[in-house]
Structure 1
Amino acid sequence: MTAFALLFPLAITTLIAVLLYGMPSLMPATLPLGVSVPRARSGDPAVTRHVRAYRMAIIASWILSLALLLGLSPTVPAAAVLTSVLFLVAASTVAYVVARSGIVRAKRRGDWYADATVRPPANVASVQQPPAPVGWLVFSLVVLLVAFGIGVAVYPSLPQSVPVHWGASGQPDRFAPKGVWSVFGPLIIGVLVAAGLFAVSFAVRAAPVRADQSLTAEQNERRASLIQSAGSSLIGRLTAATAIMIVWPAVVSWLWPDASGAVIAGIVVGVALMLIVVVAFVLASRRAAATARVAVDGDMLGASARSRRPGAGSVSAAHDSGPAHASTPDAPDDDRYWKGGLIYVNRDDPAVFVQRRFGVGWTVNFGRPGGVLFGVVLVVLVVAAIVSALVAGH
């Protein structure tokens, strides 16, 4: 087993563990482990205790997953990677569910929302649709067409047996007779993927975005516009990264069949590009929410300052001693719509995409037909990718 084949899954497993460990810090204080609590209870000892227990469980799960990886790698390297990652995900999910349940029980026993003033449920924000990612689609198709041209040019000189799979060392370990599908099949799939992602971009652009109860209509419109623009840009950049990752192995295997490790290096670069694109989308979504939040906080601070001017009337002690948002209503206690804090099901909410309760980014509303369709397509794609990887490995 090569050093790369061992270090790469080690790095992936560690990255997943770090993200899971830091996830509570990325969430609002009123959503510890995805449980809705009033601001006055966000620092409750029960909350602190269960969040700490979750993080300790993540550390223990990571250590055990690394032990599985190192123990199985010498004998069954492929199974070692899959086993360690699946164990980490499964153990972390159990830790999350157990810790979250503790906070839910404490909230119910203490009836934390009994004296809390809550905002009315949010509606969706109206917004003008952002442009489709046509430029990224054109770029992807050009890359694929150039690869087709190279393939046609070198096809007569290709050997009668062409590589169709590469091992962790970068060397081909599976071959097929030369033919249209064995040579051009990946590029044909790339065109279909590009077309499919472009079609998905229309659904992302048209899907309603849930409004923030604490923002004005104008601020929600701006926030929704930024989020939908970020989603459209995400689809476009993912299309381009996918095209590059598909084209690279094909072209390298045609032009430089003896280039050791070049194919795997290209795939790793493609995966890195996808990760960068996803991180950029998450940051853009958070920036959209922050942009609207800065505006509303500025309005509230200005109102608070005006209320303190002579002649403005009396101001409560809570307003004088705390931040401007200290007396604003809390978010509704809508835990009943969040199954396990991860899956959102609300038939009365017209929004298809809603902000996650635990984790970064957005999730779908499985109470809406569009959300169900999106979820089914996503599951099919994930299962297809796993099955393809297992079939290719044999």
Structure 2
Amino acid sequence: MTLSLITLLLTTALVTAVFRSVPDLARPGLPFGVAAPPARASDPAILKARKRFIRTVVACGALTAALAVPAAFIIDPEAVTAAAVTALVMCDTAAYALAGRRVRAAKAAGDWYAGAEQAVTADLSFRADPVRVPWRRTIPAALVLAATIAIGAARAGSLPDTLPGLDGLSLDGGPRVPASFLTAAHPVLAQAAITIAVPLLLAAVLKSRPEIDAARPADSARRYRIYLRSLANLLLFTAACANLTLLGIALRLWEVLPPSPAATLAVFTPLLVAAAAAVALEVRVGAGGHRLPGGEPEDTGLVQRDDDRHWHLGGFVYANRDDPAVLVHQRAGGFQWTVNLGHPVGWGAVALLVLVVAGAALLGIVDLPSRGL
């Protein structure tokens, strides 16, 4: 019970902290996913919406903890945690969308783009000299995968008839499950998926349309190039860390690693390191490189085009039939891309993802949520 309560409180605090940081992660010209000219970055309407959002997020987190902790003593703690976190994410997301609507309303009422000359800018150097996938940095993840396969092959002949159920973060306590190839190979299959998918996804991201500011084209292009290189290194480092965690889970599943708090900490430490690296990169570089030091002053007399009509759900969803780009950088902040749902390939990518998840669920590689009768 103590571990379940700690997990509940930590998860609630983490979700609250993540949503609380969203306004800080956003680029200056995109408060709550709404395009705003530089002169309006400190508009009272934006500041007011920001304060309301932060107060709401903190209040929702406190209320969730206050209600969920007593409930965990009465109902299954894991079910309470899942329900509480789901409700908290939904409330915080609604608060974010509401803040965006308030900023949009103020923008329309004040006619923020009146008199501004809007434009978009392209930098052909991203085609002539693109940022490429640093393939050598994929080697650590591949080596961890190879090591896991080798250990699994050596252990395969001596596996017991049943394997331990890995119950949450404790990696212990769940009902034992019959030993089979898919059951025993779960971690290895996940490692293989990560080792293959992350470089492919990174290659697509690096070829996506760069985010260049029409007001500062040269400087924003320089920053974005640094941002892409840093992001590539982070993603491949995270892939290696995820494979290390999966190696630890495999050792526990194959009963090579005995259960203990120290073992659990060791297993999940690589993911904590990867999360710390992501936070450090966000603080140092920022989405699109907007936190990097500026270069030579520029004054094009232009502002980035206002394309709010193509963005929905607070800057998370993009749909533009006239845009040939398939992947675009999300407006919500952080290191996120989204598919252009106005492009036929975008719908194909979504359909493919659904098929992959459904196939993995049918094969038992991933477990979909279920409801007991």
How far off is 1:241 after superposition? 1.8
Kindly, what percent of the aligned residue pairs are identical?
Answer: 26
Match of 2:34 in 1: 35
Structure 2: gaps of 5 or more residues: none
How far off is 1:169 after superposition? 4.1
- What amino acid maps onto 2:208 in structure 1? A
* Distance in structure 2 (CA, Å) of the matches to 1:221 and 1:107: 27
- What amino acid maps onto 2:318 in structure 1? Y
CA contact (8 A) 2:25 2:286 kept: no
Match of 1:364 in 2: 338
How far off is 1:248 after superposition? 0.7
CA contact (8 A) 1:208 1:351 kept: yes
How far off is 1:197 after superposition? 2.3
CA contact (8 A) 1:54 1:96 kept: yes
- Cα shift readout 1:119-159 (whole Å, capped 9, x = no counterpart): 31233653223343433433222222222222333334432
Deviates more, 1:36-45 or 1:86-95: 36-45
Matches within 5 A, 1:143-154: 143-154=144-155
Write 1 or 2 for the structure with the bigger share of helix.
1
- What amino acid maps onto 2:91 in structure 1? A
- Say whether residues 1:176 and 2:165 are aligned partners: no
Distance verdict in 2 for CA 1:287–1:77, change over 3 Å:
closer
How far off is 1:12 after superposition? 2.6
- Cα shift readout 1:74-119 (whole Å, capped 9, x = no counterpart): 22111111111111111112222223222222222232322x3233
Match of 1:317 in 2: none
Matches within 5 A, 1:15-94: 15-74=14-73, 75-94=75-94
- Say whether residues 1:158 and 2:159 are aligned partners: yes
Deviates more, 1:377-386 or 1:346-355: 377-386
- 1:339 corresponds, among 289, 292, 312, to 312
* Distance in structure 2 (CA, Å) of the matches to 1:379 and 1:150: 32
Distance verdict in 2 for CA 1:330–1:21, change over 3 Å:
same
- Cα shift readout 1:282-325 (whole Å, capped 9, x = no counterpart): 35652862487611xx334xxxxxxxxxxxxxxxxxxxxxxxx7
Distance verdict in 2 for CA 1:340–1:193, change over 3 Å:
closer
Number of residue equivalences: 364
CA contact (8 A) 1:125 1:209 kept: no
CA contact (8 A) 2:165 2:173 kept: yes
* Distance in structure 2 (CA, Å) of the matches to 1:230 and 1:69: 39
Larger Rg belongs to:
1
Distance verdict in 2 for CA 1:18–1:67, change over 3 Å:
same
CA contact (8 A) 1:29 1:39 kept: yes
SS at match of 2:154: helix
- Cα shift readout 1:226-255 (whole Å, capped 9, x = no counterpart): 233234323322321221121112224445
Match of 1:203 in 2: 204
- What amino acid maps onto 2:7 in structure 1? F
CA contact (8 A) 1:252 1:262 kept: no
Match of 2:297 in 1: 299
How far off is 1:70 after superposition? 0.7
- What amino acid maps onto 1:245 in structure 2? T
- What amino acid maps onto 1:12 in structure 2? T
- What amino acid maps onto 2:102 in structure 1? G
CA contact (8 A) 1:242 1:270 kept: yes
Match of 2:245 in 1: 245
SS at match of 1:209: coil
* Distance in structure 1 (CA, Å) of the matches to 2:261 and 2:245: 15
- Cα shift readout 1:352-376 (whole Å, capped 9, x = no counterpart): 4444433223423513455545555
- What amino acid maps onto 1:268 in structure 2? F
Match of 1:187 in 2: 188
Match of 2:106 in 1: 106
CA contact (8 A) 1:26 1:360 kept: yes
- What amino acid maps onto 1:364 in structure 2? T
Match of 1:226 in 2: 226
Distance verdict in 2 for CA 1:338–1:287, change over 3 Å:
closer
* Distance in structure 2 (CA, Å) of the matches to 1:258 and 1:292: 46
Match of 1:282 in 2: 282
- Say whether residues 1:265 and 2:265 are aligned partners: yes
Match of 2:367 in 1: 388
Deviates more, 1:250-259 or 1:340-349: 250-259
CA contact (8 A) 1:170 1:264 kept: yes
* Distance in structure 1 (CA, Å) of the matches to 2:168 and 2:304: 51
- What amino acid maps onto 2:212 in structure 1? A
- What amino acid maps onto 1:32 in structure 2? P
